[in-house]
Structure 1
Amino acid sequence: MRFSHKRGFLIRAVALAGALATGSGAWAQTASDWPNRAVTIVVGFTAGGPTDVVARILAEQLSARFNQSFVVDNKAGAGGGVAATLVKKAAPDGYTLMFGSSGTLSIAPNLQKSLGYDPLRDFTAIGLVASYPYFLVVPATSTMATFDDFLKKGRDPASNLTYASAGNGAVNHLAGEWFKAETGVKSVHVPYRGDSAAVTDLVGGRVDWAFLAGAAALPQVKAGKMRILASASATPGRGGEGILTLGESRYKGFAAEPWNGLMAPAGLPQPIVAKLNTAINEIMHRKDIVEKLAGMEQYPFTGTPQQFTNHIKEQTERWGAVIKAADIKVE
């Protein structure tokens, strides 16, 4: 009887070992011939926004590089949370990826108690892709012609300044609160449902200022409807010659620069991670891609998967401190 039990145990153990070996072999085979069918890149925002535009540029280039379709699928909602929850549940086989954003990965965890996903635990970081600075803008009709004019007026409580954002908890809302704390400017926050509505009221002079992405601000500046007073970046030269760079010259460390990166469900095989990371880094630094991004005030922002993970952690702490200091809450 004992022998029979022992023999049965040995048979099961051998079978299990064989299954594991077969499974690991299958994973290795999957990684070696990946991709052999279409890949979906899920974007948590509507088409046409800064995150979506860069995702489509990358998808087009990855399609050409790997000779397979990389298709962008927009799943807007909950500040990217709908897409994150969807991708979290997908198989980690490299055929469902997520184009994550700073708001989804480093701001939402500080604002929402029941997030539904953990940016570090539930995903595999593949690679950072691009970033873009916000610009401090005012209506073209504003009496604040320079940044120093802005500071003088903004520090006077009698001015009753207001600033617009894409909504409570949006990056340009947090940037506004951080900026107020750094400069002593007094201003009331006016949240909108997205940047487009904020732009309309800013151009119309119904709000006094805002931090806006180049994609939203520059067309209005070129049309003579807005004025740029500064770049909310730590890197000089962004926004054009003569544009004041806040984080470089006035307020060291100040940088409101949303970023994005490619992720996969947790457990993506490392050979696929390596393939994609190498491809991203090479694509985003090609001259033609750099020039295409520059036309939209976007900039390559790449690195290793570990650097991506570290950046998520650092940004989560940075924005968490801003949220706590300003006592920002999202219903």
Structure 2
Amino acid sequence: MISQNKRSFLKGSIALAGALATVGSLGAQTANDWPTKPVTIVVGFTAGGPTDLVARILAEQLATKFGQSFVIDNKAGAGGGVAAGLVKKAAPDGYTLMFGSSGTLAIAPNLQPNLTYDSIRDFTTIGLVASYPYFLLVPSSSSITTFDELLKQGRDPSSKLTYASAGNGAVNHLAGEWFKYETKIKAVHIPYRGDSAAVTDLVGGRVDFAFLAGAAALPQVKAGKMRILASASATPGRGGEGVLTLGEARLKGFAAEPWNGLMAPAGLPQPIVAKLNTAINEIMGRKDVVERLAAMEQYPLTGTPQQFTKHIKEQTERWGSVIKASDIKAE
């Protein structure tokens, strides 16, 4: 005979099993149906920058693939930290995503001890999307016409060179300090609020050089307002034919190549993760998308969510080493 306690226990177990099965069924149904309404992709930088431009290409392609709107929401501030804080608190239902960046995920943790987010714990990685090398540029009016001339002038004890960046802690700030450390030149950092302002002052000759993304630099180069001295890549050919690649030719291992990837709040159901990851890999492998990226000197990235997580960890360690060696401090 089964005791009353055992009967109660069995009834409870059966009820719990039923409830879990129902939840699992609903979760699978939600993932299969997703998306049934517009999806927001939060970008932590202003419209028109390299991160924003690639996010918009991806959003457009995802909208076509899934038959729902993928809306870009620019929440600039704190090097992407404002966006990260918002997405961290969002529901993990697939309707709020983040277009994460190397600056937000791998650099900020090394410079800002009181971050309001953890790059790994607070997010679900979905897939890497693209990367791009910075270009080392001077205004076309500059007397500096080659990489070696920049070094010669910067190593002069009386050097008063200045370089621009998108702000303290931005990748092109770190690139500039790393460059100074490796080449032993003297140059004063001039931070701006974003690349656009830095471009304006570089074109005007109010600063001497800068590391800038192709999306910001190439139109100015084509217009004859800037001159490329090198590509901040370690991969031969990245930057265009005849362009010096610093990390391959002159400063072994030097590579200032920001990257982006799609993320979600922690806890996003794995079927939705898989659905989005498959879509990203397919989109970034298409010839028409590759050509659109190439026009901005952007290069597609693909892989699994696990590879994305590993990439964040490796890049955090790498930029941490650069920051320590160059004695960079958050200002």
- Global fold match (TM > 0.5): yes
The answer to whether residue 120 in structure 2 is matched with residue 132 in structure 1 is: no
* C-alpha displacement of 1:12: 2.9
Shift of the alpha carbon at 1:5?
4.5
After the TM superposition, which residues 218-297 of structure 1 pair with which residues of structure 2 at under 5 Å, given as runs? 218-297=218-297
Residue deviations 1:41-99, cap 9 Å, x none?
Answer: 11111221111111111111111111222121222222111211221122222221111
When structure 1 is superposed on structure 2, of 13-22 and 94-103 the one drifting more is: 13-22
The answer to whether the 8 A contact 2:79-2:169 is kept is: no
CA contact (8 A) 2:46 2:76 kept: yes
Structure 1 residue 236: Cα displacement: 2.1
What do residues 203-242 of structure 1 show as CA deviations (whole Å, max 9, x unaligned)? 2222111101111111221222211000001222233211
Q: CA-to-partner distance for each residue in 1:134-153, whole Å, 9 max, x for gaps?
A: 10001112221111111222
Query: TM-score when scaled to structure 2?
Result: 0.95
Aligned partners of 1:232 and 1:8: how far apart in 2?
A: 69
Q: What is the CA–CA distance in structure 2 between the aligned matches of 1:16 and 1:116, rounded to whole Å?
A: 37
2: CA distance, partners of 1:248 / 1:148: 16
Letter in 1 for 2:84: A
Q: Contact (CA 8 Å) 2:134, 2:213: kept in 1 or not?
A: yes
Alpha-carbon separation, structure 1, partners of 2:227 and 2:87? 40
Q: Is the 8 A contact 2:49 2:216 kept in 1?
A: no
Residue 101 (structure 1) aligns with: 101
Write the distance in 2 (CA, Å) between the matches of 1:193 and 1:89: 26
42-51 or 96-105: bigger deviation: 42-51
Q: Distance in 2 between matches of 1:208 and 1:36?
A: 51
Distance, in Å, in 1 between the alignment partners of 2:51 and 2:26 is 34
CA distance in 2, matches of 1:140, 1:70: 40
Residue correspondence of structure 1 range 1-331 to structure 2 within 5 A: 3-331=3-331
Q: SS at 1:151's partner residue? A: helix
SS in 2 for 1:126: strand
TM-score normalised to structure 1 length: 0.95
SS in 2 for 1:159: coil
Distance 1:145 1:246 in 2: 16
SS in structure 2 of the partner of residue 268 of structure 1: coil
Separation (CA, whole Å) in 2 of partners of 1:201 and 1:315: 30
Aligned partners of 1:226, 1:100: CA distance in 2, in Å?
29
Runs of 5+ consecutive residues of structure 1 not aligned to the other structure: none
**Identity percentage over the alignment?**
82
Any idea what SS the aligned residue of 1:107 has?
Answer: helix
Give the Cα–Cα distance (whole angstroms) in 2 for the partners of residues 89 and 79 of structure 1: 18
| Equivalent pair of 2:167/2:192 in contact (CA under 8 Å) | yes
Q: Which amino acid aligns with 1:181?
A: Y
Question: Matches of 1:136 and 1:242 in 2, distance apart?
Answer: 14
Per-residue deviation, residues 87-136 of structure 1 (Å, max 9, x unmatched): 11222222211111111111111111221111111111110001111100
Amino acid across the alignment from 2:222:
K
- Counterparts of 1:104 and 1:76 in 2: how far apart (Å)? 11
Question: 2:151 aligns to what SS in structure 1?
Answer: helix
Does the aligned pair in 1 maintain the 2:202–2:208 contact within 8 Å?
A: yes
Q: Which letter does structure 2 place at the counterpart of 1:38?
A: P
Q: C-alpha displacement at 1:254, in angstroms?
A: 1.0
In structure 2, give the amino acid aligned to 1:266. A
Q: Which amino acid aligns with 2:226?
A: M
- Equivalent AA in structure 1 for residue 253 of structure 2: G
Deviation of 1:3 (Å): 4.7
In the TM superposition, residue 4 of structure 1 has moved relative to its aligned partner by 4.5
Distance 1:116 1:13 in 2: 40
Rounded to whole Å, the distance in 2 between the matches of 1:282 and 1:234 is 26
Distance in 2 of aligned mates of 1:328 and 1:250: 22
Moved more, 308-317 or 38-47: 38-47
> Does the CA contact (< 8 Å) of 2:160 and 2:186 recur in 1?
yes
1:293-331 deviation digits (Å, cap 9, x = unpaired) = 111121112222121111111111111112222333325
Root-mean-square deviation over aligned CA pairs:
1.7
Deviation per CA, 1:157-192, whole angstroms, max 9, x where unpaired?
Answer: 222211111111111000011111222222111111
